[in-house]
């Protein structure tokens, strides 16, 4: 293939190997789609304790065994293993270094609820290992594609430690920011442990941000381009002080190199026509077959089945961002409509308590599942009539796009990727694929759900909207094509320089 690009794609979670949120889905689907377009794409991630070598057939790579890496004068001997993304020929490399990654959790110690205290060392070493692996493979990438703070020190390393290394002279970097609130911000006392000169803690350095050492900032300063996961979020983080999380000034400075590319959906995984986790497969042509999913869901939720009462689903990390407070505040209104609410999530213990209380007080209308459960997530997508995402902010959001495919009408706050994918229903023109509200308030949320319930009662109008929603196409091929164009644009610019 002409213009075949070599792309090294880095992420610290990749589905199905390890997942805490949307990044894992993206880091699996995008490389797959790039590969299908004929590009040479390889992925690298840490080998966590939870990844089964046998299940995923991880193999040793002869020339990537026992690699010595130096950090702060200390030698760490690491090995690289490899496997394929399931059902593909996309090669995934795993950094096998037990002292740092043979742990049950990815970033946060489940036992303490706190970040692992050596996260800076863990992920800085990962960044170093990536560059050494590429060199040992003698595989000169056109593009190194980094994701989030954990890999953001790669562009920094290329401009510092590797600035004279001709091996990388043709390599361009892209940093994708999936959520600006997570920056990898550490006390400056970390610097000697990373082997980075102490002077870099001084204000104005490429690592310093509000007296902390900030990995994401370093990546934003040094990456050739920065992308984020929806056009609206790309603007919000430059213009809204709260969403810019302290980096909006820098992002604005780099606005010419900023791109907002909406994530896509892997329809091999999220599709009611071939979903193995739902009782009956269905499509827009046979919507009656969606009913068994509702019945099965309500049975699991121990709530009564009533075709006249809409089920509202939620699947979410339970963190500040996701608007759980609004649901709690609006609940009295919601159960009166009535609706039934089924919530699957895990995260901050304070939200676990809050939701437990809701489920107890409104046992006839609310069911909660406080765990990570992929299979149940699929059943909720299929079995609900509506899907609620009242996020304070949402860089992209995947579940509203999954919901559209399942004919489960999204009710969302107008922010980030939710604003880019859900169009408010208009009764007069019979237009729209969901319900959108703007103010971050319980009243606005209740109002949107009320509007949804009103349309739900008009079966013909509802079915029309459901069919319209199911027709929408957010497949990765469209998205991957946008990334390829961006990579090629970068390449052309570089050649001209
Ligand atoms: P974020 O990346 O902020 O968590 P996204 O909407 O982009 O939000 O992606 C969330 C992904 O994680 C979706 O695939 C969703 O189904 C999944 N998910 C979140 N919480 C759970 C849970 N408790 N059980 C199963 N899947 C979950």
Rg (CA), the chain: 23
Q: What is the pLDDT of residue 100?
A: 98
pLDDT band (50, 70, 90) for residue 430:
confident
Q: Do 258 and 322 share a domain, yes or no?
A: no
CB atoms within 10 A of CB 118: 14
CB atoms within 10 A of CB 489: 12
Mean pLDDT across 112-119: 92
Q: What is the 3-state secondary structure (H, E, C) of 300-341?
A: HHCCCCCCCCCEEEEEEEECHHHCHHHHHHHHHHHHHCCCEE
pLDDT confidence of residue 491: 86
Q: Does residue 275 belong to any structural domain of this protein?
A: no
Cα dihedral: 363, 364, 365, 370 (round 10): 30
Beta bridge partner(s), residue 79: 96
Q: Provide the pLDDT for residue 10.
A: 98
Q: Is 146 close to ligand 1, i.e. is its CB under 6 Å away? A: no
Average pLDDT over residues 62-88: 97
User: From the CB of 344, is ligand 1 less than 6 Å away?
Assistant: yes
Q: Which of 392, 396, 398, 416 has the most ligand 1 atoms within 8 A of CB, as the residue to mutate?
A: 398
Distance from the alpha carbon of residue 237 to the mean position of ligand 1, in angstroms: 22
**Local confidence band at 366 (pLDDT 50, 70, 90 cut-offs):** very high
Question: Does residue 270 belong to any structural domain of this protein?
Answer: no
Query: Is 276 inside a domain boundary?
Result: no
CB of 315 shorter than 6 A to ligand 1: yes
Buried b (16+ CB within 10 A) or exposed e, 379-414: bbbbbbbbbbbbbbbbbbbbbbbbbbbbbbbbbbbb
Mean pLDDT of 470-488: 95
C-beta of residue 12 within 8 angstroms of C-beta of residue 126: yes
The answer on 294 and 251 residing in a single domain is no
* Host domain of residue 427: 287-473
In sequence order, what E strands does 59-117 have? 59-60, 67-71, 74-84, 91-96, 108-109, 114-115
Average pLDDT over residues 137-161: 97
Q: Is 194 domain-assigned?
A: yes
Q: Are residues 456 and 316 in the same domain?
A: yes
Tell me the pLDDT of the chain averaged across its residues.
96
The percent of residues in the chain predicted with pLDDT above 70, rounded, is 100
Let me know: does 316 contact 288? Beta carbons within 8 Å. no
Residues with Cβ within 8 Å of residue 52, at least 6 apart in sequence: none
Interval 376-391 mean pLDDT? 98
pTM: 0.94
Residue 417 has a pLDDT of: 98
Ligand 1: residue of 320, 324, 343, 377 to mutate (most ligand atoms within 8 A of CB) is: 377
Considering only 64-68, 108-112, 126-130, 235-239, which range has the smallest mean pLDDT?
108-112
Average pLDDT of span 151-169: 97
Q: Based on the domain organization, do 142 and 200 belong to the same domain? A: yes
User: Which one, of 284, 219, 293, 274, lies nearest residue 250 by Cα?
Assistant: 219
Average pLDDT, integer, range 382-408: 98
Give me the mean pLDDT over the 448-476 stretch. 96
Assess whether the C-beta atom of 16 lies below 6 angstroms from ligand 1. no
Is any atom of ligand 1 closer than 6 Å to the C-beta of 377?
yes
DSSP 340-392: EEEEEEEE-HHHHHHHHHHHHHTTTTEEEE-S--HHHHHHHHHH-SEEEE--S
CA-to-CA distance for 472 and 129, rounded, in angstroms? Answer: 41
Distance between CA atoms of residues 468 and 409, nearest Å:
10
**Is the residue at 271 inside a domain?**
no
Mean pLDDT of 315-321: 95
Distance 317 CA to ligand 1 centre (A): 6
Residue 274 lies in a domain: no
Tell me, what's the pLDDT at 429? Answer: 79
Summarize pLDDT for 436-456 with one digit per residue, the tens: 999 999 999 999 999 999 999
Specify the ligand 1 atom closest to the Cα of 389: 6
Closest CA to 310 of 470, 451, 427: 451
Atom number, ligand 1, closest to the C-alpha of residue 321: 3
- Residues 292, 319 share a domain: yes
Is pLDDT at 494 greater than 90 in this prediction? no
Residue with CA nearest ligand 1 atom 24: 372
Residues 6+ apart with CB under 8 A from 430: 461, 464, 465
Which of 12, 19, 21 for a ligand 1 pocket mutation test, highest count of atoms within 8 Å of Cβ? 21
Name residues whose C-beta falls within 8 Å of residue 107's C-beta, 6 or more positions apart in sequence. 12, 20, 115, 116, 119, 150
pLDDT of residue 497: 67
What is the C-alpha to C-alpha distance for residues 70 and 193, in angstroms, rounded to an integer? Answer: 11
Atom of ligand 1 nearest to the CA of 25: 14
- Asked if residue 397 has its Cβ within 6 Å of ligand 1, the reply is yes
Cβ of 262 less than 6 Å from ligand 1: no
Same domain, 82 and 188: yes
Tokens of 430: 């019979």
How large is the angle between the packed helices 459-471 and 442-457, nearest 10 degrees? 110
The residue nearest atom 9 of ligand 1, judged by CA position, is 22
Which residue has a Cα nearest atom 19 of ligand 1?
Answer: 316
CA of 62 to the centre of ligand 1 (A): 36
Does 250 share its domain with 303?
no
Pocket test for ligand 1, best of 230, 315, 368, 395 (most atoms within 8 A of CB): 315
The atom of ligand 1 lying closest to the CA of 396 is 7
pLDDT at residue number 139: 95
Give the Cα separation of 410 and 466 in Å (integer): 10
Q: Percentage of residues in the chain with pLDDT exceeding 90?
A: 93
Q: Is residue 11 part of a domain?
A: yes
> What would the pLDDT profile of 275-296 be if each residue is shown by its tens digit?
999 999 999 999 999 999 999 9
The reply to whether 465 and 445 lie within a common domain is: yes
State whether 133 and 204 are in the same domain. yes
Read off φ and ψ for residue 411, nearest 5 degrees: -120, 115
Is 278 within a domain? no
- 242 has pLDDT over 80: yes
In a shared domain, residues 24 and 102: yes
Condensed to tens digits (0 to 9), the pLDDT of residues 175-196 reads 999 999 999 999 999 999 999 9
pLDDT, tens only, 337-360: 999 999 999 999 999 999 999 999
Average the pLDDT over 385-391 and give the result: 98
pLDDT at 46 over 90: yes
Atom number of ligand 1 nearest to Cα 20:
12
| Ligand 1 center–CA 21 separation, angstroms | 5
Number of domains in the chain: 2
Q: Using a 6 Å cutoff on CB, does residue 345 contact ligand 1?
A: yes
| 3-state secondary structure (DSSP) of residue 253 | helix
* 265 C-alpha to ligand 1 centroid (Å): 13
137 CA distance to ligand 1 middle (Å): 34
CATH code of residue 312:
3.40.50.2000
Shared domain check, 302 and 186: no
Provide the pLDDT confidence category of residue 496 given band limits of 50, 70 and 90: confident
Indicate the top mutation candidate among 399, 400, 413, 421 to test ligand 1's pocket, ranked by most ligand atoms within 8 A of CB: 399
User: Which one, of 190, 187, 188, 178, lies nearest residue 219 by Cα?
Assistant: 178
Mean pLDDT of 465-491: 94
How many angstroms does the Cα of residue 373 sit away from the middle of ligand 1?
Answer: 10
Q: Which residue's CA lies nearest to atom 20 of ligand 1?
A: 316
Q: What is the pLDDT of residues 7-27, one digit of tens each?
A: 999 999 999 999 998 899 999
pLDDT of residue 326: 98
**Do 308 and 219 sit in the same domain of this protein?**
no
For residue 371, the ligand 1 atom closest to its alpha carbon is 23
């Amino acid at each position: 293939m002409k213009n075949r690009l070599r792309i090294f794609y880095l992420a610290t979670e990749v589905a199905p190997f390890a997942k805490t949120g949307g990044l894992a889905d993206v880091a699996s689907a995008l490389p797959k789609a790039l590969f299908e377009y004929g590009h040479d794409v390889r992925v690298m991630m840490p080998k966590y304790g939870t990844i089964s070598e046998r299940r995923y057939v991880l193999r040793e790579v002869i020339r990537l065994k026992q690699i010595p890496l130096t950090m702060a004068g200390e030698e760490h001997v690491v090995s690289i293993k490899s496997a394929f993304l399931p059902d593909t020929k996309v090669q995934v490399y795993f950094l096998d270094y037990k002292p740092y990654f043979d742990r049950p959790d990815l970033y946060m110690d489940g036992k303490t609820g706190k970040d692992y205290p050596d996260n800076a060392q863990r992920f800085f070493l990962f960044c170093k290992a990536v560059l050494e692996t590429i060199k040992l493979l003698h595989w000169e990438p056109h593009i190194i594609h980094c994701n989030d703070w954990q890999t953001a020190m790669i562009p920094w390393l290329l401009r510092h430690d590797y600035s004279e290394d001709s091996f990388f002279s043709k390599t361009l970097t892209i940093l994708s920011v999936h959520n600006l609130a997570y920056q990898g911000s550490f006390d400056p006392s970390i610097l000697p442990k990373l082997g980075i000169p102490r002077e870099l803690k001084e204000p104005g350095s490429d690592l310093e941000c509000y007296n902390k050492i900030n990995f994401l900032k370093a990546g934003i300063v040094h990456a050739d381009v920065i992308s984020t996961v929806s056009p609206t979020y790309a603007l919000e983080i430059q213009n809204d002080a709260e969403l810019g999380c302290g980096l909006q000034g820098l992002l604005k400075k780099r606005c010419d190199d900023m791109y907002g590319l909406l994530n896509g959906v892997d329809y091999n995984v999220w599709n009611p026509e071939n979903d193995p986790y739902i009782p009956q497969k269905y499509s827009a042509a046979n919507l009656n077959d969606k009913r068994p999913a509702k019945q099965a869901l309500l049975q699991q939720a121990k709530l009564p089945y009533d075709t006249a009462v809409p089920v509202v689903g939620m699947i979410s990390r339970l963190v500040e961002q996701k608007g759980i407070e609004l649901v709690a505040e609006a609940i009295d209104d919601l159960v009166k409509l009535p609706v039934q609410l089924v919530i699957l999530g895990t995260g901050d213990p304070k939200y676990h308590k809050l939701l437990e209380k809701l489920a107890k007080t409104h046992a006839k209308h609310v069911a909660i599942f406080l765990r990570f459960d992929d299979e149940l997530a699929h059943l909720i997508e299929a079995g609900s009539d509506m899907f609620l995402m009242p996020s304070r902010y949402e860089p992209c959001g995947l579940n509203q796009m999954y919901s559209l495919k399942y004919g489960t009408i999204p009710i969302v706050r107008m922010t980030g990727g939710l604003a880019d994918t859900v169009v408010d229903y208009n009764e007069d023109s019979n237009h729209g694929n969901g319900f959108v509200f703007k103010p971050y308030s319980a009243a606005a949320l209740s109002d949107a759900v009320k509007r949804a319930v009103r349309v739900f009662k008009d079966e013909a109008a509802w079915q029309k909207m459901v069919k319209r929603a199911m027709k929408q196409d957010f497949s990765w091929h469209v998205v991957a094509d946008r990334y390829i164009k961006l990579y090629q644009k970068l390449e052309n610019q570089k050649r001209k320089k």
